[in-house]
Amino acid sequence: MNILTENFTTPYQSAPFDQIKNEDYLPAFKELIQKSEKEIDAIINNNEEPTFENTIEALAFSGDQLDRASNIFFNLNSAETSDELQQIAQEVSPILTEYSSKISQNEALFNRIKKVYDQKEKYHLNEEQEMLLNETYKGFVRSGALLNEEDKEKLKKISMDLSLKSLQFGQNVLASTNAYFKHVTNKEDLAGIPEAIIDQYAEEAKERNLEGWVVTLQYPSYIPFMTYAENRDLRKELALANGKKSFDGGEFDNQNLIKELLNLKQQKAELLGYANYADYVLEERMAKSPTKVIDFLNELLTKAKPYAEKEIEELKALAKTDGIDEMQGYDHAFYAEKLRKAKYDLNDEELKPYFPLEQVQEAVFGLSKQLFGLTFEKRNDIPKYHEEVKVYKVFERERESEKIEDGSNPSEKTFKALLYVDYFPRKGKRAGAWMTSYKNQYQKDGENSRPHISIVCNFSKPTKDTPSLLTFQEVTTLFHEFGHALHGMLANTQYPNLSGTSVKWDFVELPSQFLENFCYEPEFLKTFAKHYKTGEVLPDEKIEKIAQSKNFMEGYQTLRQLGFGILDMNYHTKVGELENKSVKEFEDDYTKATQLYPSNPETAMSPSFSHIFQGGYSAGYYSYKWAEVLDADAFQYFKENGIFDPETAAKFKVLLSSGGTKDPMELYKSFRGSEPKVESLLKRAFG
């Protein structure tokens, strides 16, 4: 028996991690693909005239088991990978890509879809059904359904190559990250670094059977070193190693892979009738066109750059007092922290005892209860893929004031979701933080099937003496990912492919970035910023300083994000330039307007820019800034009415629960009463 091909008998049909063996994956994918193909055949061979129900709806619900197996496998490949899993991924990805191409280019299936699409008026569809029909039709066209047979084959091959090369890109970055570590044997080299971080480095050395201390390129190790280490030579060495990730000409180098990926994307776009890959992508975004994105990014650049330059001048003046005449990028975090401490008397290490992970999690749980009526119950009976993972059953509390016509108890709790949380770095986990889904929400046969959502982070592990203590930036990271999780958990749509975060890509960051705003509100901070030993609330003056420091280095951070967005957009509109340029030259050309420090010829960020070369942000990195306009405007509305105002929260809950069932601008206007204004972001950022 292969557990992945069976109906799961676990609580809430959760993923049976404890029963899955690596050797199950490949045969399971092959069997489930066959099963899904039979479901497609049944749609095609239906003798009845194509209708919305027997074609569009049937297709939306097909392949459910295959989707679940894919979610399990690829989520594990990001959070708990191994050499064996990575090898399986190389085998599985082309099989899945081939299956996907086979479906999306199936002429008989598309003919049925087109027939329904061409006669949509006669079906009297509701708004969600019409959205599903439009998205299904467009999805097939954008996957090559209108191409001739020869071009369909070309597109299929391109898609398979893209799938494998994207996977390889990510594997190279992970391997390159893991390949480097700095073994420190003299404690004086760690001067300036807080004792708790030094203990962490000692633990890392112990795990590697080494004396002394070990610093790695994993964020919880690397960032504190760059922030606090007084040893400038070592900061330079670490920064150089980080900047060389997959850019050193070695086994894990990604430079050629970048060119191959971009050429494949360009070929795909041209086959489908687009000038470039950005045109192809942005047709399905709120922004609509590369010109609009570049104009948006340049407008922000013009407004933010004077602030950024002023911030850097302040840092350079501080560095000069240490005898540094030409400040470098590897000095930034160190002097920014010094300046922050001088300006706001804030120090990450000083704040960390007030932000133990469990406490911060309880705060975000409490906020979800206050705004959206959600409660969280830890469960020990649900399988996990690693002992560090915790699983919560999420309930929704019906409002006491609601009158329920069927006479049921309005205070009863409704099962809403399963939430997995995985907080600490491991060798098999990629860097960063993300939210993902093991199972989407949908409604079928009278049942509202609830989602299984996961948050994955890389926070400092607890030691034998202290719990996991978060920097304030890590606090905002947890709130950010939880915003995504809320989008998934509150989903309440009919169809799985319109559920939760299945929205336009430049809309998806709104809930996550919106939730971060609460971290800076004194009224809310006071409820959970408490010392893990004494229970003492973070003093008022520190809370006030956190609120004041919200925009600290905002100009620098804005330019950094704009640099990523501009580079991404140019990679996906001007790929031809790479025929005569190295990746490094291209990167320098298109980020120089946003660079505030000298470029180092030995480093480049593109070869580890996983968001656009492995993840889903190709021609979409601008969406972080785009969504910042949305979140600044949305939170401004909350502030006008009170940050815990139940009516405003109820309207935002409708936006979250609607997923992709409506045009995002319509959803936003229904919530806010007007379109978002870029002035809201500029006012928040620069006053």
Return the active site residues: 481
Within 8 A by CB and 6+ apart from 380, the residues are none
Look up residue 227 and give its two tokens: 């922030």
**Residue 436, strand partner residues:** 454
Query: By three-state DSSP, how is residue 184 classified?
Result: strand
List residues bridging with 377 in a β-sheet: 393
- Rounded Cα distance between 112 and 554, Å, is 52
- What does DSSP assign to residue 469? B
Beta bridge partners of 672: none
Rounded Cα distance, 371 and 490, in Å: 12
CA distance 510 to 628: 7
CA distance 634 to 529: 25
Give the C-alpha distances (Å, rounded to integers) separating 372 from 156, 227, 358, 385, 503: 44, 37, 21, 29, 20
Taking the C-alpha atoms of residue 355 and residue 543, their distance in angstroms, rounded to an integer, is 12
Residue 208 burial class via C-beta count within 10 angstroms: exposed 0-12, middle 13-18, buried 19 and up: exposed
Q: Is 378 left (phi over 0), alpha (psi -120 to 50) or beta?
A: beta
Nearest to 648, CA basis, from 520, 547, 514, 528: 514
DSSP code of 399? Answer: P
Nearest CA among 413, 393, 417, 414 for reference residue 487: 417
Got the DSSP string for 604-635? -SGGG-HHHHTSS-TTTTTHHHHHHHHHHHHH
- Rounded distance between C-alpha atoms, residue 310 and residue 127, angstroms: 50
